[in-house]
């Protein structure tokens, strides 16, 4: 309560100052179009600027203010680069007391002056002109309370970015990672495309969608859970190598690895199979680490992840059998349920064995996979959009890339037989009665498939999770600017 009262009082005092400035004819939120030098640039070229006695124009936010009689020192920051500004009474003359009174922490200002060094060799700009560009009505926290309340950091991400350099740099890295991946696909002959986010039938993944309504068309619509079925329509239309980077939405729980709104890359490659995409993905990640991180090994939490070795390829059914003693290809349903109970896993008995496999894999085997590993040949009955493996019709030509106990990518050779795809959709349709994550029957997609889709491979990459691992973030919320949170 005391904090609220003090903030209210500070706000009232600052608003009074703004009103006083405006009455004096000074605009405190002016338009500004002068070319400035970045603080980073000034620091980089400081010796040259000092030698040539060049004047510079910089802009930034006031982070500290220290008055010493006829001198005042200000720390000015821009994009976490800091430079000291010196205000001298004999330089600013009558304006000196004005700036002492009206410049406050958090204010954004422009400063013109000559670069110099203080007696302590501090790189400094001697201010000759100052202009207020934006007056802060609320003060910056002296100590970032978000360190004590993590959720407060996410709610006020703008303060988190201003005050925590590590957070700011993590998002810079995320941008570099996404740019690298986009360029990698483009440089390998893929075309970037866009597909609908509002869809009449959500498809392409096991997930419950968010539902909305279009008034003009009187039509129920859904936020996409994946762009897959629309991207496949484009392969039918003749686009042979395509990818899309965009948001997907799944009405699911929130934890350190999941956010209902997330960033994904999906790509489709005609006349290729799932093994081609495994090789492509492995090479891309190794190149990414070399070019952006200048290393082959990275630290994530308590692990050191080595990307220099060839990624392991592990049969997922054999792995689950080894870890759980359950043989999903031979055990009866009753045996499977009994063994799952012994593992103390919570299950709904109405779930069919195909879902139980996924449950056991995620709870028992997945957390043990640390090094970059491809788990391959998933059961066909949990892969309704993938082709049967030619060597075993009970398995799919499918892979998942697992790193540090998390699924980072999923890919397969795509089902292009419309009759087989319809059978899989009909099986899924039966499950929708009790499973909101089952895949929907999509007659329009089946019609498109009936015109002939070339054999192709597809891949989905979770860009938030990948960034989380590469930047050693403890939670997916740390790599999403504004993660979904419960209201206060």
CATH numbers and ranges of domains, the chain: 2-134 (2.40.50.140), 161-311+371-479 (3.30.930.10)
- Residue 420 sits at the vertex; the CA angle it makes with 271 and 221, to the nearest 5 degrees, is 90
What are the distances in angstroms from CA 131 to CA 21, 28, 152, 389?
A: 12, 9, 32, 69
pLDDT at 81: 97
Long-range contacts of 315-322 (CB under 8 A, 24+ apart): 315/375, 315/376, 315/377, 316/361, 316/365, 316/375, 316/376, 316/377, 316/378, 316/400, 317/357, 317/377, 317/378, 317/379, 317/395, 319/361, 319/365, 319/375, 320/357, 320/360, 320/361, 320/364, 320/365
pLDDT at 99: 94
Residue 237: how many other CB atoms lie within 10 Å:
11
Which residues of the chain carry a pLDDT beneath 50? 1, 145-147
In 29-76, alpha helices (H): 39-44, 46-51
Give the CA radius of gyration of the chain.
29
Where do we find the tokens 């930034």?
60
pLDDT at 7: 85
What are the distances in angstroms from CA 334 to CA 330, 338, 341?
A: 12, 6, 11
């Amino acid at each position: 309560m005391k904090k609220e009262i003090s903030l209210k009082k500070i706000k009232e005092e600052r608003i009074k100052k703004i009103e006083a400035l405006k009455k004096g004819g000074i605009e405190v939120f002016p338009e500004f179009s002068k070319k400035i030098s970045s603080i980073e640039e000034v620091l980089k070229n400081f010796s040259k600027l000092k030698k040539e006695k060049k004047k510079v124009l910089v802009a930034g936010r006031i982070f500290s203010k220290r008055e010493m009689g006829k001198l005042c020192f200000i720390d000015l920051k821009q994009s976490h680069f800091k430079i000291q500004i010196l205000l001298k009474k004999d330089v600013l003359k009558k304006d000196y007391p004005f700036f002492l009174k009206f410049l406050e922490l958090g204010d954004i200002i422009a400063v013109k002056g000559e670069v110099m060094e203080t007696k302590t060799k501090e790189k400094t700009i001697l201010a000759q002109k100052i202009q207020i560009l934006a007056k802060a009505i609320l003060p910056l926290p002296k100590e970032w309370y978000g360190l004590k309340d993590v959720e407060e950091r996410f709610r006020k991400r703008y303060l988190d970015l201003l005050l925590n350099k590590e957070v700011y740099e993590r998002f810079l890295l995320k941008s570099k990672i996404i740019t690298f991946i986009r360029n990698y696909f483009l440089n390998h002959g893929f075309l970037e495309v866009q597909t609908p986010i509002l869809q009449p039938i959500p498809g392409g993944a096991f997930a419950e969608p968010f539902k909305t309504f279009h008034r003009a068309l009187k039509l129920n619509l859904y936020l996409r859970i994946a762009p897959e079925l629309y991207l496949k329509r484009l392969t039918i239309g003749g686009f042979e190598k395509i990818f899309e980077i965009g948001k997907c939405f799944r009405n699911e729980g929130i934890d350190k690895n999941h956010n209902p709104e997330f960033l994904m890359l999906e790509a489709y490659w005609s006349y290729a199979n799932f093994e081609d995409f495994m090789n492509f993905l492995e090479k891309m990640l190794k190149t990414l680490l070399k070019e952006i991180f200048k290393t082959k090994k990275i630290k994530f939490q308590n692990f050191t992840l080595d990307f220099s070795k060839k990624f392991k390829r592990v049969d997922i059914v054999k792995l689950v059998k080894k870890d759980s003693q359950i043989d999903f290809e031979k055990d009866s349903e009753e045996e499977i349920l009994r063994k799952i109970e012994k593992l103390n896993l919570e299950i709904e008995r109405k779930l069919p064995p195909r879902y139980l496999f996924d449950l056991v894999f995620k709870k028992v085997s997945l957390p043990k996979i640390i090094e970059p590993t491809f788990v391959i040949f998933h059961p066909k009955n949990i892969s309704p959009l993938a082709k049967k493996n030619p060597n075993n019709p009970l398995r799919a030509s499918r892979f998942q890339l697992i790193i540090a106990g998390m699924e980072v990518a999923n890919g397969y050779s795509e089902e292009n037989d419309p009759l087989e795809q319809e059978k899989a959709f009909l099986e899924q349709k039966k499950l929708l009665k009790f499973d909101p994550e089952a895949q929907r029957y999509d007659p329009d997609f089946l019609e498109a498939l009936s015109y002939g889709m070339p054999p192709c491979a597809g891949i989905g990459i979770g860009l938030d999770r990948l960034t989380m691992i590469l930047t050693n973030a403890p939670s997916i919320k740390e790599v999403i600017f504004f993660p979904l949170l419960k209201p206060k």
